[in-house]
Amino acid sequence: LRQQQNPGEQQMSKAALQPASLTFKDLSFTASLPKGGKQTILEPCSGHLEAGQLVAIMGPSGCGKTTLLDMLAMKKTAKYSGEVFVNGRPRDSRLFPRIAAYVSQEDEMPAHWKVREALEFDAALKQQPGESRKATADFIDNLLEAFGLTGVANTYIGGAAVRGISGGQRRRVSLARGVAAHASLLFCDEPTSGLAATDAEICVRGLRNIAKRLNVLVLVVIHQPRKEVARLFDTLMLLT
């Protein structure tokens, strides 16, 4: 399902990344059971997603949402059927990790990192050839603003023994780190899980901001979002 666009949407930034569309054809997965036999986890499904979209993958528990996300993100280690194309060409297993980032529910980060340092670390790992320090700093500032983290940019991430940012802010840092690595494709596995309603909405709004500003295709597995959150998505992929 594709939802109506907001005519007042934010304009694309000059720091926008190279566009990457995603096409998948007849993706399916059947698991082998310990006692023999097989169980179908995901029936064959196909679709096409353009750059700059915020996409929700929704459905009841056990319908294969995370399985589909893992296959699209090239994280599924078990054998599956179907084809995935990037910008109309077969997905290259060597090049794909350079343009894609996967954010899981677990967000391990050093407690003594500051928010800006966390983003700088990922940006440095995949810094573009010839990119100046100023361009990198501007890119990170853009991410901090998009995710509502500017006010805590110099605050510790925190942990059990170190006071730091809130749980909702920590989740947004994890998402921003994925884009900081210059990912044109961002895959998020239930980023709102465990968050309060307000934090969950802020989190999804941040994802929408970077989808539109930086031309990133963002795919999100999300379970039973509020209607205010559901309206933020451009496309809903509904699995049964």
Distance CA 77, CA 9 (A): 38
Q: What is the pLDDT along the chain (240 residues), one digit of tens a residue?
A: 666 555 445 566 666 778 999 999 999 999 988 888 899 999 999 999 999 999 999 998 888 999 999 999 999 989 999 999 999 999 999 999 989 999 987 778 999 999 999 999 998 887 777 778 888 898 899 999 999 999 999 999 998 889 999 989 999 999 999 989 888 999 999 999 888 999 999 999 999 999 998 899 999 999 888 899 999 999 999 998
Both tokens of residue 192?
């709102």
Q: The pTM is what?
A: 0.89
Provide the edge-to-edge strand list for the sheet that holds 22-32. 38-49, 22-32, 81-86, 89-90
Residue 180 has φ and ψ, to the nearest 5°, of -60, -25
Distance (Å) of CA 119 to CA 4, 125, 127, 180, 182 = 32, 10, 12, 6, 11
How many CA atoms lie less than 13 Å away from 127 in the CB half-sphere?
A: 15
Length of the chain counted residue by residue: 240
Q: What angle do CA 183, 97, 147 make, to 5 degrees?
A: 25
Dihedral of the alpha carbons of 178, 183, 185, 191, in degrees to the nearest 10: 10
Q: Are 217 and 84 in contact (CB under 8 A)?
A: no
